[in-house]
């Protein structure tokens, strides 16, 4: 037989073995579901557990676990077995399920009971290490197992003559259990204070030593008044000796808290005395910071992917622009920071404008990490060349490294799409009718017409100027506490070059952010002025005589000429000659577009550095465009832009 056929037979044999193995795992998983503890688990979770088990054949009357003998794992059975314990209060009983779990979690080496099979049957054995690891991975299973252990310990407590001793023993055992599974633990007494029983992980998570006697509320809840109120209500109900179900009361307690930059998930149980009164509350704390961060990262990646797929061209252009900004920052560092030479105002101004624009478009694309690091770079760069000691060179270098890391991450998201999908998203698709017209013009050698048909397909709809604006406006309005309705009006069938659309999409973003930051008032202020609580931002675009016209307006506060003049005249960074010229020609609005001017009292993520409107002015000047602003106090403002388009349309 040839080697080829031998290989094929080996492959078929291996596939058959794998298929048999998978069938066996599914059968075990189905059997495990018959155990009450696993009834609510998903098939995938049960398969995860099934992979860890080793099948054991038992005969009727066989004792497979013996009291006081070494126990190296747990057994799972769907058939009833006899549970017996010598010299203990628990009588012989018959049940099925999970056995040996308490020893696994407390680190005990020897069994505290004997298990005897009542019939010939199959059992499944899982080693101590594998079981603890599996329980940690399967959602909800750790909670269920610990609840069962606590129930057993409660039974021991209620049946014991020495109640105090058993309470202490129970606390000790539970603390050991939770320490082994990476969970912090502490108890709360009737005074609402942390008891003497807490483990090392609790101290680590809370970053405090000697927790005993500290008020739980102060440590966990801080100044959250609403959470504190609920907590004290629940505490009073729990320890008042009433007949309200403690489980229901515990549902009032906080579930997730943030402490010292950790996200902790809190789970509660309680211990009752012989009379059924709650003697203390037990709190389990699990550090879920990594999981929550991963969830946030996955959520952000989905959002970015959606934006990317809606307009891949915009995303690719954004990457190019931000790479150019990074190159400028690198050059700034090499030429000025590294050599300890102050940069020229024009050089620094150009870098600040690039950073501001890059921050805006990264925010539009949902890249919050990139937006944050660029904002922090703006903070540092503005102090370059000044002698006030605010500039921190080491911090600047660290931020550049972080900038590169975040940009690489943004590029990796694009690469994850794959070149085929990117090409498809960027591709030009002709309809049947359009392709027919193209062929007809080519056959007739009507080169001008052919050129126009192809050129028009390379143009994009003008409404793409406003891509991602709505989402960004929603985010900014929510953050500022303002209510805003964004409306656009675009001339029908108007198409433009992608390069023009991209520049306007990025640079004019400063205008709507200006409307949000300085124009639209808070709902309470608008109502005092007898305005609708919801403010309006309107954007429009149309073409006339080979010029493109755009308007962006708001119905907000308008500009206060006297305030603008006062701020400008007190700003030493501004050319006072230019300021006076604008005042004398009654063009106060032009002061807003001067580099370094800002009416904000403090720097925020959207304004305060005096580079936003300056960036608009410079970008429009580069396109031979113009901008004008009209404003009326308490009525609103309108930015009007026009740009020549002769070069965008072929003859």
Query: Do residues 254 and 154 share a domain?
Result: yes
Query: Do residues 331 and 392 share a domain?
Result: yes
Query: Do residues 96 and 195 share a domain?
Result: no
pLDDT in tens, 303-340: 777 767 667 777 788 888 888 888 888 888 888 777 77
**Is residue 454 domain-resident?**
no
Per-residue pLDDT, 439: 67
Query: Do residues 563 and 466 share a domain?
Result: yes
**Is residue 447 domain-resident?**
no
Task: Report the CATH number at residue 503.
Answer: 3.30.565.10
Give yes or no for a contact between 98 and 37, defined as CB atoms under 8 angstroms apart: yes
Query: Do residues 151 and 101 share a domain?
Result: no
Question: Does 509 score more than 70 pLDDT?
Answer: yes
**Is residue 13 domain-resident?**
no
pLDDT in tens, 404-421: 888 888 888 777 666 655
Q: What is the residue range of 215's domain?
A: 147-287
**Is residue 11 domain-resident?**
no
Residues constituting the chain: 651
The rounded percent of the chain whose pLDDT value lies above 90 is: 9
Q: For 165-189, what is the mean pLDDT?
A: 61
Per-residue pLDDT, 11: 42
| 334 vs 10 pLDDT, higher one | 334
| Sequence-ordered list of residues with C-beta below 8 angstroms from that of 333, at least 6 positions apart, any chain | 396, 397, 400
pLDDT in tens, 218-235: 887 777 777 777 777 777
Give yes or no for a contact between 35 and 98, defined as CB atoms under 8 angstroms apart: yes
Q: For 575-594, what is the mean pLDDT?
A: 89
Question: Does 72 score more than 60 pLDDT?
Answer: yes
Residue 306 and residue 6: Cα distance in Å, rounded?
Answer: 48
Instruction: Identify the band that residue 88 occupies on the pLDDT scale cut at 50, 70 and 90.
Output: low
Query: Do residues 411 and 494 share a domain?
Result: no
- CA distance readout (Å), 47 to 18, 35, 121, 177: 15, 14, 21, 25
pLDDT in tens, 370-412: 888 888 888 887 777 666 667 777 888 888 888 888 888 888 8
φ and ψ of 340, to 5 deg: 60, 40
Per-residue pLDDT, 637: 92
pLDDT in tens, 588-627: 888 888 887 876 554 444 444 445 688 888 888 888 889 9
Per-residue pLDDT, 292: 79
Instruction: Identify the band that residue 535 occupies on the pLDDT scale cut at 50, 70 and 90.
Output: very high
Task: Report the CATH number at residue 267.
Answer: 3.30.450.20
**Is residue 4 domain-resident?**
no
Q: How many CB atoms within 10 Å of residue 417?
A: 16
Q: Which of 52-56, 490-494, 647-651 has the lowest mean pLDDT?
A: 647-651
Last residue of a domain, one of 99, 130, 161: 130
Per-residue pLDDT, 650: 40
- CA distance readout (Å), 336 to 329, 396, 521: 10, 12, 41
**Is residue 248 domain-resident?**
yes
Task: Report the CATH number at residue 87.
Answer: 2.60.120.10
| 200 vs 154 pLDDT, higher one | 200
Q: How many CB atoms within 10 Å of residue 539?
A: 22
pLDDT in tens, 426-459: 555 556 676 667 667 766 777 777 667 666 666 7
Query: Do residues 230 and 265 share a domain?
Result: yes
**Is residue 521 domain-resident?**
yes
Per-residue pLDDT, 449: 74
Give the DSSP letter string of 389-448.
S---HHHHHHHHHHHHHHHHHHHHHHHHH-HHHHHHHH-----HHHHHHHHHHHHTT-HH
Query: Do residues 155 and 261 share a domain?
Result: yes
Q: For 60-78, what is the mean pLDDT?
A: 85
Q: How many CB atoms within 10 Å of residue 495?
A: 18
CA angle 371, 316, 407 (to 5 degrees): 40
Query: Do residues 212 and 263 share a domain?
Result: yes
Give yes or no for a contact between 396 and 337, defined as CB atoms under 8 angstroms apart: yes
Token digits of residue 424: 């498809």
Query: Do residues 332 and 368 share a domain?
Result: yes
Residue 471 and residue 177: Cα distance in Å, rounded?
Answer: 47
Instruction: Identify the band that residue 522 occupies on the pLDDT scale cut at 50, 70 and 90.
Output: very high
Q: Which of 133-137, 322-326, 500-504, 547-551 has the lowest mean pLDDT?
A: 133-137
Q: For 240-252, what is the mean pLDDT?
A: 70
**Is residue 392 domain-resident?**
yes
Domain count, the chain: 4
Question: Does 541 score more than 80 pLDDT?
Answer: yes
Per-residue pLDDT, 203: 85
Question: Does 142 score more than 50 pLDDT?
Answer: yes
Give yes or no for a contact between 202 and 285, defined as CB atoms under 8 angstroms apart: yes
Per-residue pLDDT, 492: 87
| 11 vs 288 pLDDT, higher one | 288
Last residue of a domain, one of 233, 257, 287: 287
Residue 463 and residue 203: Cα distance in Å, rounded?
Answer: 56
Give yes or no for a contact between 453 and 438, defined as CB atoms under 8 angstroms apart: yes
Task: Report the CATH number at residue 412.
Answer: 1.20.120
pTM of the model: 0.42
């Amino acid at each position: 037989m040839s080697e080829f056929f031998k290989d094929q037979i080996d492959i078929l044999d291996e596939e058959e073995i794998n298929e048999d193995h998978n069938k066996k795992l599914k059968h075990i998983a189905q059997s495990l579901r018959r155990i009450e503890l696993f009834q609510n688990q998903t098939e995938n979770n049960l398969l995860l557990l099934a992979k860890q088990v080793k099948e054991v054949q038992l005969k009727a009357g066989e004792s497979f676990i013996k009291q006081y003998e070494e126990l190296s794992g747990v057994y799972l059975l769907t058939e009833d077995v006899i549970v017996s314990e010598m010299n203990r209060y628990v009588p012989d009983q018959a049940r099925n399920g999970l056995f040996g779990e308490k020893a696994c979690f407390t680190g005990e080496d020897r069994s505290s009971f004997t298990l005897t099979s009542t019939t010939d049957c199959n059992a499944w054995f899982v080693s101590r290490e594998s079981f603890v690891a599996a329980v940690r991975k399967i959602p909800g299973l750790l909670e269920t197992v610990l609840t069962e252990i606590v129930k057993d310990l409660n039974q021991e407590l209620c049946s014991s003559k020495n109640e105090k001793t058993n309470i202490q023993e129970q606390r000790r055992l539970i603390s050991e259990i939770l320490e082994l599974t990476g969970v912090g633990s502490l108890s709360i007494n009737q005074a609402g204070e942390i008891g003497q029983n807490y483990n090392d992980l609790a101290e680590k998570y809370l970053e405090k030593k000697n927790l005993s006697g500290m008020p739980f509320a102060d440590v966990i809840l801080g100044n959250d008044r609403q959470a504190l109120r609920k907590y004290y209500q629940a505490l009073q109900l729990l320890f008042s000796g009433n007949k309200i179900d403690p489980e229901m009361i515990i549902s009032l307690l906080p579930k997730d808290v943030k402490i010292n930059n950790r996200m902790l998930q809190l789970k509660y149980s309680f211990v009752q005395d012989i009379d059924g009164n709650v003697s203390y509350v037990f709190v389990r704390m699990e550090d879920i910071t990594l999981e929550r961060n991963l969830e946030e990262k996955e959520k952000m990646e989905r959002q970015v992917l959606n934006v990317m797929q809606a307009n891949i061209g915009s995303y690719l252009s954004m990457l190019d622009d931000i790479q150019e900004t990074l190159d400028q920052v690198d050059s700034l560092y090499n030429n000025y920071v590294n050599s300890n030479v102050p940069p020229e105002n024009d050089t620094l101004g150009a870098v600040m404008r690039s950073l501001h624009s890059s921050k805006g478009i990264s925010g539009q694309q949902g890249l919050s990490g990139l937006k944050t690091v660029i904002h922090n770079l703006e903070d540092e760069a503005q102090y370059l060349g000044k002698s006030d000691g605010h500039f921190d060179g080491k911090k600047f270098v660290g931020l550049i490294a972080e900038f590169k890391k975040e940009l690489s991450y943004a590029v990796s998201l694009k690469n994850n799409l794959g070149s085929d999908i990117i090409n498809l998203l960027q591709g030009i698709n002709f309809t049947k009718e359009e392709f027919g017209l193209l062929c007809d013009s080519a056959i007739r050698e009507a080169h001008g017409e052919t050129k126009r048909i192809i050129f028009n397909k390379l143009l994009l709809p003008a409404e793409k100027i406003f891509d991602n604006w709505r989402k960004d406006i929603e985010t900014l309005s929510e953050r500022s506490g303002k209510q805003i309705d964004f409306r656009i009006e675009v001339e029908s069938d108007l198409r433009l070059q992608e390069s023009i659309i991209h520049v306007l999409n990025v640079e004019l973003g400063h205008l709507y952010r200006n409307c949000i930051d300085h124009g639209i008032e808070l709902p309470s202020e608008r109502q005092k002025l007898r305005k609708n609580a919801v403010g309006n931002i309107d954007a429009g675009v149309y073409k006339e005589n080979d010029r493109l016209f755009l308007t962006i307006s708001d119905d907000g506060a308008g500009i206060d000429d006297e305030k603008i003049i006062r701020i400008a005249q007190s700003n030493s960074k501004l050319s006072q000659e230019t300021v006076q010229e604008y005042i004398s020609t009654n063009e106060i609005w032009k002061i807003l577009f001067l580099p370094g001017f800002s009416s904000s009292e403090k720097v925020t993520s959207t304004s305060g550095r005096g580079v936003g409107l300056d960036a608009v002015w410079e970008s429009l000047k580069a396109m031979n465009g113009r901008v004008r602003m009209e404003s009326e106090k308490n009525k609103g403002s309108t930015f009007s832009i026009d740009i020549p388009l002769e070069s965008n349309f072929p003859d």
